[in-house]
Amino acid sequence: MVGAGDVNDLPLGFPKNGSRIWNFTNANKWELAKEPLHSNHDQVDIVSRNKHPGVGPGLAMADAFATQHPQVHLGLIPCAKGGSSIKEWQRDRSRSSLYGSCLYRQKLAEQQGKIRALVFWQGGQDSKDKAAAEKWGKNFKKMVEAWRTDIGDPDLPVIMLVLKSATQQTLRRNPYRDIVRAQQLSVKMRNLTKIETIAYDYSRDGIHLTTAGQLALGPVIAKAIATP
């Protein structure tokens, strides 16, 4: 979710609905959303600091949703760590953990509105280790159950972005990628929507979407969010 798209490749006028889209920045402040959403500027909890945050699908998602619902104002709470494992997202309420830091920011942001959905895109790191790959589904379910409990919403909608199938190129770096994908496809939970990430423009590494790919994926995620 951090994104690796080049900010310089964004089209003029993006986002179209910028006056209605807000971002709860890593400095724990609301501001009009802009790329990169995961900016490290004045970041408070450095556990989620990213070396090179880029364009992800979040703002494109919000922009598409705002177009669909012109009366709505949206708030984004970006909370991701490039290269993190699903194990690092297990329940740990301390702010020195990824889970705890993100939960704290959600609680702060929730004072200004209701959290409507959790969008989760992860799995690459776990595809480097067979044991981690085989436990991905179990760990994902534990994470979601904990999040719903801690947020206080047992029916919190969750949107999972599914890893695309491995290629000969990606298998060299991520030999168990297809195991993670199979785990993702096998997970069954209430209020869980899965979105494929196959038919999009990828960078040369075959793992990260380009800016164009992220902008195309965003509206697909938006369609999975319930009407306000």
pLDDT (tens digit per residue) in 172-187: 999 999 999 999 999 9
Comparison of pLDDT for 228 and 31, the residue scoring more = 31
> What CATH number labels 7-223?
3.40.50.1110
Share of the chain above pLDDT 90, in %: 97
Share of the chain above pLDDT 70, in %: 100
Query: What residue spans define the domains of the chain?
Result: 7-223
pLDDT score of 101: 97
Quote the Cα angle for 160-54-83, to 5°: 55
* Residue among 117, 121, 125 at smallest CA distance from 184: 121
pLDDT score of 33: 98
pTM of this structure: 0.96
* Residue among 220, 207, 223, 164 at smallest CA distance from 3: 207
Burial 118-134 (b: 16+ CB within 10 A, else e): bbbbbbbbbbbbeebbe
Please, are residues 104 and 45 in contact by the beta-carbon 8 Å criterion?
yes
Please, are residues 87 and 139 in contact by the beta-carbon 8 Å criterion?
yes
Quick one: 226 exposed, middle or buried, by C-beta within 10 A (0-12, 13-18, 19+)? exposed
pLDDT score of 204: 93
Arithmetic mean of pLDDT, 58-72: 97
Place 158 in a pLDDT band, splitting at 50, 70 and 90.
very high
SS3 181: helix
